[in-house]
Each structure stands twice: as C-alpha cells, then as structure tokens.
Amino acid sequence: MHFAQLPQVEAAAVPADGFLLDVREDDEWAAGHVDGALHIPIGQLVARFGELTESVGDGRRVHVMCRVGGRSAQVTQYLVAQGLDAVNVDGGMLAWHAAGRPMVSGQDGTPDGAFVL
C-alpha cells in the first residue's frame, strides 16, 4: 500500500492570519499557545469535529500543531482523509517558539518557561 507524503509546513512559514488547530492537552495549552488558535486536544477531535469545520469554514487551510509534531501529524492525516486542506506544522510549538513566533499563556500572557523543556 502506498501512502502520500504528509503535507507539512515550517513554523516560520505559517501565515500570520493562518488558521491554527492546537491538539495538545490542556496543561500544555496553558503553558503557552498561539493567540487565536483553536484548541481541541487530540483525544477530543473526533467528537468535536463539527466545531473544527464550523470554525475553519470552506476551503481554508488548517495548520495543525502539537508540541513537537507527532500528534499533529496523526491529526493532519485524519483531517486530509476527511477532505480538509490540512498541513502539519513541522516541529510543533517548539519550532514555533524557536522561530520567534508570538505566543501567550493562560496566566499572565507570557509563555511559561516549563513549556520549552
């Protein structure tokens, strides 16, 4: 069986107005996330799929993100199979942070230092 290569994009190449889906757990989200991203932990994705499709609208690309790229790769594969235009953010939040992209946290607006461990 042949599988198409998973669509990926570098964190630095995600458009500033791109739609982001963060599939990390609640504690990871609280430690630091992208302002405006839709947060649906991977274990809730199937149950909340309608929320995603309502949020993203027709034909808009979904940039899927987790901590380093493993969970988001699984979700990207699922979304592509459902007919959505989805890409995995290569390197996840660690790459996003390393690229100097903006982030906020649930506490005071700055990312938690534990986030990058």
Q: Are the CB atoms for 87 and 63 separated by under 8 Å?
A: yes
How, if at all, do strands 62-65 and 19-22 pair? Answer: parallel
Residue with structure tokens 């790459």? 95
Q: Is 66 a catalytic residue?
A: yes
Q: Tabulate helix, strand, coil % of the chain (nearest 5).
A: 35, 15, 45
Position 15 scores a pLDDT of 95
CA quadruple 24, 26, 29, 30: dihedral, nearest 10: -160
Position 108 scores a pLDDT of 52
Residue with structure tokens 């199979």? 81
Q: Are the CB atoms for 23 and 40 separated by under 8 Å?
A: yes
Q: Which of 11, 21, 40, 66 is catalytic?
A: 66
Position 57 scores a pLDDT of 85
Position 78 scores a pLDDT of 97
Position 59 scores a pLDDT of 84
Read off the pTM: 0.88
Position 1 scores a pLDDT of 43
Positions in the chain whose pLDDT score sits under 70: 1-4, 106-117
Position 114 scores a pLDDT of 45
